[in-house]
Amino acid sequence: MLFGLIVAGLLVGIVTLQAFVAQQSFRMQDLQERTRELQLQYGELKAQAAALSAPSRVAAAAQRHGMVLPDASQVQTLRVPGIDPPPGGTTGSDAPPSAALKPVIGEEP
């Protein structure tokens, strides 16, 4: 009797476990699909952001608003040690800001 109960209990347990594993598997599939969709969305948004900030677009928008480029002599730069970037500012060795995201989000299409 006891043996029968134990066997029955085990059977129920195994079946329940199997069902749970199957359920998690389907959930995992859903999440993977969702991840893929978000990665696609991320890539598209990144591309959109890059295109929207392209100099040609910004320049055209500025011109529409009547803006013109100043002469170099009209630009005055105030320097505060420790706050302003160094003159030129183009030869630093920092990675681009998006580099930190790469291992997390990747460039996955």
Partner 1 sequence: MTQGRHEARRTSSPNTRRAQHGRHEAHGPGAHGLHGPHGKHAADHHGPAHRVMAMFVVAALGLATILTRLVVLQVRDANALTSMAVDQRVRDLTLPAPRGTIFDDSGTELAMSLPAKDVYADPQLVRDPASEARAIAKTLKIKVTPVRKLLATRTDSQGDLIHFVYVQRGVALNVAARLERASLPGIGFTSDTRRYYPAGALAPQVLGFVGVDGTGLAGLERQYQQLLTGRPGHEVVQEDPDGTLIPQAGSTSTPPVPGDDLVLTIDRDIQYQAQQSLAQAVRANGGSGGSVIVMDPHSGDILAMATYPWFDPNTFAEANPNYLRNRTVTDVYEPGSVNKVITVAAALQEHSVGLRQRFVVPDQIRVYDAVIHDAETHPVQTMTLADILAYSSNVGAIKVADTIGQDRFYRYLRRFGFGQPTGVGFPGESAGILPPVDTWSGVSLATMAFGQGLAVTPLQMASVYATIANDGVWVQPRLVRGTVDANGKFQPAPAPDTRRVVSEHTAAVVTRMLAYAVDIGTGVEAQIPGFWVAGKTGTARIPRQNRPGYTKKYVASFIGFAPASHPALVIAAVIDDPATIYGGVAAAPLFKNVARFALARLRIPPAAKPPIPPHAVSPG
Which residues make up the interface to partner 1 (CB under 8 A)? 18, 21-22, 24-26, 29, 40, 43-44, 46-47, 50-51, 53-56, 59, 69-75, 77, 87-91, 93-103, 106-109
CB of 3 to partner 1, least distance (A): 28
Pick between residue 6 and residue 31 the one whose CB is nearest to partner 1. 31
Q: Retrieve residue 79's tokens.
A: 């320097």
Closest to 89 (Cα-Cα) out of 98, 77, 104, 107:
77
Pick between residue 4 and residue 55 the one whose CB is nearest to partner 1. 55
CB of 107 to partner 1, least distance (A): 4
Which residue type is seen at 83? Answer: I
DSSP class of 53 = T
Pick between residue 5 and residue 93 the one whose CB is nearest to partner 1. 93
CA distance linking residue 13 with residue 101, whole number of Å: 43
Pick between residue 7 and residue 41 the one whose CB is nearest to partner 1. 41
Q: Retrieve residue 17's tokens.
A: 């476990």
Say if CB 43 and CB 109 are below 8 A apart: yes
